Homo-oligomer: A and B are copies of this chain.
């Protein structure tokens, strides 16, 4: 059984288009590299109803992990934790361990100088009942882990450095062990001199003859009348050796097919 992951990115800046969702692709690449499969990425704004609806819809699809980024900071429009609570029909409540994590963060940062735990600071410790706060090695807001039926829900900060640090420290290991012994192998190559519409039946043939391989063509435009296409070969397998063999086999088959094509078709890895 593959380990299925959904992601939910929360933030008006993503919908206004002034921030590119690099968190989602970075995490997707990380999760894929340890054998998990990302099935959907959803982006909504800082809006209680949209967050809770998106969480509810995702849980209904029963992924193994739902990774939520953004909206767990101190400002009024950070409402991810409330949205998750609403989706799970739970309340948010002040979590003592989260308070300690926040206090510890300020103490380290200000070298023991006491910081008042004001409303906005304590807000970051108000998490859904049953949630477990998770250490943030870079910023203030703790991440939050929750179990919902068969899905582990992780709420991470939206600041990329914080999301990445927590992902590495506390999440990647869990994904790896859940994905247990599935391997992902990928290779890129570039083909010049053939149009995608002529490459399509070749890709189709190789995929039929090489079970488990996935080949995706990315047209990269035409230079001096010559089409350039990048090809991505990838596979998931329970054996690393098989995964490598599958991808190597598909690449050899592609080279052989391209040698039979009319005109000057070149493939480079």
Chain A contacts to B: CB under 8 angstroms: 11-22, 24-32, 37-46, 50, 54, 57, 73-77, 109, 118-121, 123-124, 139-140, 159, 161, 186, 196-201, 203-204, 207, 214, 216-219, 221-222, 232, 234
**Cβ–Cβ contact B197 & A118, under 8 A:** yes
Chain B residues with CB below 8 A from A198, complex form: 118, 120
Contact of A232 among B13, B42, B50, B214 (CB under 8 A): B13
Instruction: Tell me the nearest residue of chain B to A26, going by C-beta.
Output: B17
A105 to chain B, nearest CB (A): 11
**Cβ–Cβ contact A201 & B120, under 8 A:** yes
User: Which of A14, A16, A27: most chain B Cβ within 10 A?
Assistant: A16
Asked, given contacts A18-B232, A41-B42, whether A217 binds B30 with beta carbons under 8 Å apart, the answer is no
**Cβ–Cβ contact A32 & B13, under 8 A:** no
Chain B residues with CB below 8 A from A18, complex form: 25, 29, 186, 232
CA of A207 to CA of B76, assembled, Å: 10
**Cβ–Cβ contact B40 & A43, under 8 A:** yes
**Cβ–Cβ contact A161 & B221, under 8 A:** yes
**Cβ–Cβ contact A120 & B197, under 8 A:** yes
Asked, given contacts A12-B214, A197-B121, A219-B159, whether A38 binds B17 with beta carbons under 8 Å apart, the answer is yes
Chain B residues with CB below 8 A from A28, complex form: 14-17
Instruction: Tell me the nearest residue of chain B to A28, going by C-beta.
Output: B17
Asked, given contacts A75-B200, A120-B201, A203-B75, whether A219 binds B139 with beta carbons under 8 Å apart, the answer is yes
CA of A58 to CA of B266, assembled, Å: 42
